[in-house]
Each structure stands twice: as C-alpha cells, then as structure tokens.
Amino acid sequence: EVQLVESGGGLVQAGGSLRLSCAVSGLTFNDYAIAWFRQGPGTEREVVSCINAISGLTYYADSVKGRFTISSDNAKNTVYLHMNGLKPEDTAVYYCTAALFLGSSCATVGFWGQGTQVTVSS
C-alpha cells in the first residue's frame, strides 16, 4: 500500500521558517519523483516543488524560488520542503504526492498525502 504522510506544518509569522516532511512508503524513489503541491483558500491546487531523489533534479515554482528548498533523505524514504522567508500568501494546505517530471515541471501520478496546514500571519 502506497502511503505519503506529511508533517511539520504550523502557524508562523511572516519572515519565519518551517520544514515540512513527507514520509513515503510503498513506492520507491527509483520509480517516481516526489512533489509538493499547495492549495490556499479559494485557490486551485498548484505545484510548489518537486525532486527526483535519485538524480537530484529539482523544480521550483517561480513564487517560491530562492525561499524554498526541496531535499531528500533516501535512507529514510523522506522528502523535505525547507521554507524560509514565509509570506502570508504562502498560507495553504501543503500536500506531497508521487510525480513525474514533464518538461521543466512535474505532474502528479496520484497517491496523495493527507496534507499539512501552513499558516503565515502578517
């Protein structure tokens, strides 16, 4: 059974930092990339970042470039999203998902976690 479990969300002031974790089981990093998506209030779910944990290839949405960093600990089957310089517009539920790189971005292939709430106060 494929499971992705997010953790690390919370309430933080603007300019602060959080680290999200995505613990993956039931699939291997050899087969899929892992992506972080987010869905803010009244908005569609959008891709934030993704990583091929074998090759190290990464992708970042323009809105988070220079502030967020994606990384993996392959021994722990875990992908992290390090978020610095958080802004109120980063407020959203953050989800991790199995993904494939398509061109310069990546797309989900299904298998979603339950999400973790990130709230940034101004």
Look at residue 14 in the predicted model and tell me its pLDDT. Answer: 98
| Distance between first and last Cα of the chain | 40
Check residue 108 and give left, alpha or beta (phi > 0: left; psi -120 to 50: alpha): beta
Look at residue 25 in the predicted model and tell me its pLDDT. Answer: 96
Look at residue 17 in the predicted model and tell me its pLDDT. Answer: 98
The answer to which of 37-41, 71-75, 104-108 has the lowest mean pLDDT is: 104-108
Look at residue 12 in the predicted model and tell me its pLDDT. Answer: 98
Q: Residue 105 CA to chain centroid, in angstroms? A: 13
Judge whether residue 103 has pLDDT over 90. no
Strand-strand pairing, 116-121 and 92-102: antiparallel
Cα–Cα distance, 116 to 6 (Å, whole number): 6
Length of the chain: 122
